Amino acid sequence: MSDLIRALETLEETALGSLDGASDVDSLERWRLLVLGRRGSLAETLKGLGTLTADQRPKAGQVANRVKASLEASFAVRLETIQKEVRRLELGAERLDVTLPASPRPRGSLHPVTKIRREIEGAFARLGFTSVEGPEVEWDQYNFTMLNIPPDHPARDIQDSFYIDGGSGTGGEMLLRTQTSPVQIRTMLAHKPPIRIIAPGRTYRNEATDASHEAMFTQVEGLCVDRNVTMADLRGTLTAVTRVLFGPDREIRFRCGYFPFVEPGAEVDMTCHVCNGRGCRVCKRTGWIELGGAGMVHPKVLANVGIDPSVYSGWAFGCGLERFAMLRYGIDDIRLFYDNDLRFLRQFS
């Protein structure tokens, strides 16, 4: 019996000695199998218990249990030490410098026409105008007829308008709107005066494209209807907005112009923002830059939407946003806006 106890104690001593040599998780596991495993040296030694007599067994059993507990405890301590060390090394190797700048993410930017549109909306909002939208696929009725554009007007020419195949109904034929002016009709049909709106959006004309013409372009419409609205209000409003967009020194002028839905009608110019009216390349030496069309809403148009022209009057204007963007950013070809060339678009970020 003392042989067995001695064997257990020797086993404990050598096993504890070799435990210190296990320096990583693998060699530690090998140690566990060799010593504590089902066929390990402890199990092997404990087979000797069977040869002892009944009164020898308790004592030997006690020693066996103590040795087993001691080996298991030492194993656990060693395992934890090694795991901590492994973790420490991992953390050291994977060290992150959280103060490093983040890798740059490409960021989109607003399209130049969107920027101008928002500026115009902002300038008009301060004067109490709401921005509304209308459909790009429009009834012939709203795009032409109710705007007092007679059936034989050249604007309806198949050359100028994109008609929708098979698109006809209560509003006549369907087409891609050629101007934002149909939003005037839609607004006046839906609301009683006083009305103060602008309507930005895309418009389409079946045109040969060149540096100043695109088949798709953007307009912004303005409409103000109330009692006692005059052309002076139109002039004051356009002057105020022009100054927000192109600088405080801008003056505007009206030239006679014809649009079937206004009377009187005008072409609107502003003093050139590059030369301040003295004459330069941008204004073609005239000192003036064309902004768009405007005028007093034609009494027939008011009557068409059920607004009494003897009680109410109104003004309207319409202009091209690409043109504004070209003037503001010095762009000389309208086609650049819709080429989707990132080298162009990135210049506006």
Span 41-60, contacts to ligand PHE by CB under 6 A: none
Q: CB of 132: closest distance to ligand PHE in angstroms?
A: 15
Q: Which residue is nearest to ligand PHE (CB)?
A: 318
Strand partners, 174: 139
Q: Return the number of other C-beta atoms located less than 10 Å from residue 184's C-beta.
A: 28
* Nearest residue to 218 via CA among 322, 289, 334, 144: 322
Between 42 and 297, whose beta carbon lies closer to ligand PHE?
297
Among 272, 294, 307, 334, binds ligand PHE (CB under 6 A): 294
* Phi, psi of 285, deg, nearest 5: 65, 10
Among 116, 295, 321, 322, binds ligand PHE (CB under 6 A): 295
Between 277 and 292, whose beta carbon lies closer to ligand PHE?
292
Q: Residue 225 in 3-state DSSP?
A: strand
Where is 86: in which H helix or E strand?
A: helix 57-93
* Phi, psi of 276, deg, nearest 5: 60, 30
Q: CB of 278: closest distance to ligand PHE in angstroms?
A: 28
* Nearest residue to 216 via CA among 206, 229, 228: 206
Between 119 and 160, whose beta carbon lies closer to ligand PHE?
160
Strand partners, 131: 198
Binding to ligand PHE by CB under 6 A, coded x per residue (else -) over 252-291, reads -------x--x-----------------------------
Measured CA to CA, the distance from residue 171 to residue 185 in angstroms comes to 12
Measured CA to CA, the distance from residue 233 to residue 93 in angstroms comes to 73
Residue 210: DSSP 8-state:
B
Span 14-43, contacts to ligand PHE by CB under 6 A: none
Q: CB of 175: closest distance to ligand PHE in angstroms?
A: 14
Q: CB of 225: closest distance to ligand PHE in angstroms?
A: 13
Between 11 and 296, whose beta carbon lies closer to ligand PHE?
296
Residues sharing a CB contact under 8 Å with residue 303, sequence separation 6 or more, in sequence order: 309
Q: Return the number of other C-beta atoms located less than 10 Å from residue 161's C-beta.
A: 20
Among 148, 179, 237, 313, binds ligand PHE (CB under 6 A): 179
Q: CB of 280: closest distance to ligand PHE in angstroms?
A: 26
Between 179 and 237, whose beta carbon lies closer to ligand PHE?
179
R_g of the chain, CA atoms, integer Å: 44
Strand 130-131 versus strand 195-204 pairing type? parallel
Between 11 and 294, whose beta carbon lies closer to ligand PHE?
294
Q: CB of 201: closest distance to ligand PHE in angstroms?
A: 12
Binding to ligand PHE by CB under 6 A, coded x per residue (else -) over 313-332, reads ---xxx--------------
Taking CB under 6 A as the rule, does residue 181 contact ligand PHE? yes
Measured CA to CA, the distance from residue 163 to residue 171 in angstroms comes to 13
Residues sharing a CB contact under 8 Å with residue 96, sequence separation 6 or more, in sequence order: none
Strand partners, 271: 288
| Residues near ligand PHE (CB under 6 A), total | 11
Q: CB of 180: closest distance to ligand PHE in angstroms?
A: 7
Q: Which residues of the chain form contacts with ligand PHE (CB under 6 A)? A: 179, 181, 221, 259, 262, 293-295, 316-318
